[in-house]
Amino acid sequence: MTGSRRRTRLLTGWTTAVLLVLALAGCGLGTAGGKVPAAKLAGPLEDAPSLDGAEISVGSKNFSENVLLGKMALILLQAAGADVTDLTNIPGSAAARQAHLEGDIDAMWEYTGTGWLVYLGHPKPIKGKEEQYEAVRDEDLGNGLTWLPPAPMNNTYAFAITQASAKKYGITKLSEIKKVPINERTFCVESEFSNRSDGLEGMLKTYDIPLDGKDGVPSRNLKTFQTGAIYDATASGECVFGEVFTTDGRIVALDLQVLEDDRAYFPNYNVSLVVRTEVLEKYPEIEDVMAPVTEKLTDDVLKKLNAEIDVDGREPEDVAYDWLLDEGFISPA
């Protein structure tokens, strides 16, 4: 993922790009989403209920992971017999959310932290994966949206170090940063993360190494980068600790080690397929088709698949198709 945290950056109103996407779809000229590879359901989905006759539009935001997940849903729903419309790659969380609320999008993968903090406007996250999910699910039902059970993956904030640093300092979790000499507690962060109330300063306080506090982290030890540059800066040793997102493929590509957030400071951003309630009531088979796949979406899986897109340059639909095929969920059409 590049730039600031796109899925939580709330933009205002519709963008020209999303209007174009929806206009094209309405005119029957296709969409800006790209192709949906044909497949047949297989393995654990071979006997899944049919969606013949269903018309389902699937959207996504315009960062790699969300597009990838959108393509997975499109491939699976189409393989189950649905007539799908590809509305993936919408610029901005606000535009995608509005399209979902307005009914232009029937289904889209969303993150529980985004739903709670951004869409529903709560100032603080809820501790615990299930607790956060249930709170979002219950409240968003009032908006006509149903959150299906979330995946294990949690694309939240984290700090990563090189394997060499992990070995040198003997650390695997954030509470062990205290082992690192003060002058070597250097951090590469985004400007937004270093300034927000639930960002760096709160994290350092939670782990008893307060910013500019006694035995803490001096301000001079902070280096500010664009998100995409942090990974390379950390890998090259410009800082010991780099702010990352836990499912970013560059973690794998650069052989970084994510430190465990052992005091659960960062919000949960588990991903869930969110379906318009009236559509799910009409086609409850959607949940049956998606559930076994959702259960397989771990942090390690997403890091690998995201790396294929962001590092290797593959197209999201090809990565999605190949993974579903390798896992036995589909077979060639």
* pLDDT surpassing 90 at residue 29: no
Residues 105, 61 contacting (CB under 8 angstroms): no
245 and 291 inside one domain: no
- Which one-letter amino acid corresponds to residue 149? P
Q: What is the pLDDT of residue 33?
A: 65
Residues 161, 259 contacting (CB under 8 angstroms): yes
Q: What is the pLDDT of residue 197?
A: 67
Q: What is the pLDDT of residue 319?
A: 98
132 and 49 inside one domain: yes
The torsion region of residue 264 among left (phi > 0), alpha (psi -120 to 50) and beta comes to left
Residues 304, 241 contacting (CB under 8 angstroms): no
142 and 209 inside one domain: no
Residues 129, 277 contacting (CB under 8 angstroms): no
243 and 278 inside one domain: no
Q: Is residue 264 part of a domain?
A: no
Q: Is residue 201 part of a domain?
A: yes
- Reduced to 3 states (helix: H, G, I; strand: E, B; else coil), residue 198 is coil
Determine the distance from the C-alpha atom of residue 97 to the mean position of all C-alpha atoms in its chain, rounded to a whole number: 15
141 and 176 inside one domain: no
What is the per-residue pLDDT across 224-233, written as a single tens digit (0 to 9) for each? 998 789 999 9
Q: DSSP assignment of 306-324, as one string? A: HHHHHTT---HHHHHHHHH
133 and 181 inside one domain: no
> What is the average per-residue pLDDT within 40-49?
96
Of 199, 225, 258, at which residue does a domain stop? 258
What is the per-residue pLDDT across 237-281, written as a single tens digit (0 to 9) for each? 999 999 999 999 999 999 999 999 999 999 999 999 999 999 999
Q: What is the pLDDT of residue 93?
A: 87
Q: Is residue 71 part of a domain?
A: yes
Of 237, 258, 279, at which residue does a domain stop? 258
186 and 135 inside one domain: no
202 and 83 inside one domain: no
Name the burial class of residue 257, with classes exposed (0-12), middle (13-18) and buried (19+) by CB atoms within 10 angstroms of its CB: middle
322 and 232 inside one domain: no
DSSP E strand boundaries for the chain: 39-41, 55-61, 83-90, 107-111, 145-147, 157-162, 187-189, 222-224, 241-245, 256-258, 271-276, 330-332
Q: Is residue 1 part of a domain?
A: no
Q: What is the pLDDT of residue 32?
A: 53
Domain with residue 289: its CATH number is 3.40.190.10
The torsion region of residue 11 among left (phi > 0), alpha (psi -120 to 50) and beta comes to beta
> What is the average per-residue pLDDT within 167-195?
95
Total number of domains in the chain: 2
Domain with residue 161: its CATH number is 3.40.190.120
Q: Domain limits at 127?
A: 6-154+269-332
> What is the average per-residue pLDDT within 308-320?
96
Q: What is the pLDDT of residue 23?
A: 42
Name every residue whose Cβ is closer than 8 Å to that of residue 77 and which is 6 or more positions away in sequence. Answer: 51, 54, 56, 58, 84, 107, 286, 289
Q: What is the pLDDT confidence band of residue 11, given thresholds at 50, 70 and 90?
A: very low
* pLDDT surpassing 70 at residue 20: no
19 and 64 inside one domain: yes
Q: Is residue 274 part of a domain?
A: yes
Closest CA to 125 of 11, 262, 270: 270
> What is the average per-residue pLDDT within 198-223?
94
* pLDDT surpassing 90 at residue 55: yes
What is the per-residue pLDDT across 101-155, written as a single tens digit (0 to 9) for each? 999 999 999 999 999 999 999 988 998 999 999 999 999 999 999 999 999 999 9
SS3 content of the chain, % helix, strand, coil (to 5): 45, 20, 35
What is the per-residue pLDDT across 70-93, written as a single tens digit (0 to 9) for each? 999 999 999 999 999 999 999 988
Of 203, 223, 258, at which residue does a domain stop? 258
Percent residues over pLDDT 90 in the chain: 84
Q: Is residue 122 part of a domain?
A: yes
Distances (CA, A) of 330 to 40, 58, 191, 193: 5, 19, 43, 40
- Joined together, the tokens standing for residue 255 give 């052989």
Compute the mean pLDDT over every residue in the chain, rounded to the nearest whole number.
90
- Single pTM value for the model: 0.85
57 and 191 inside one domain: no
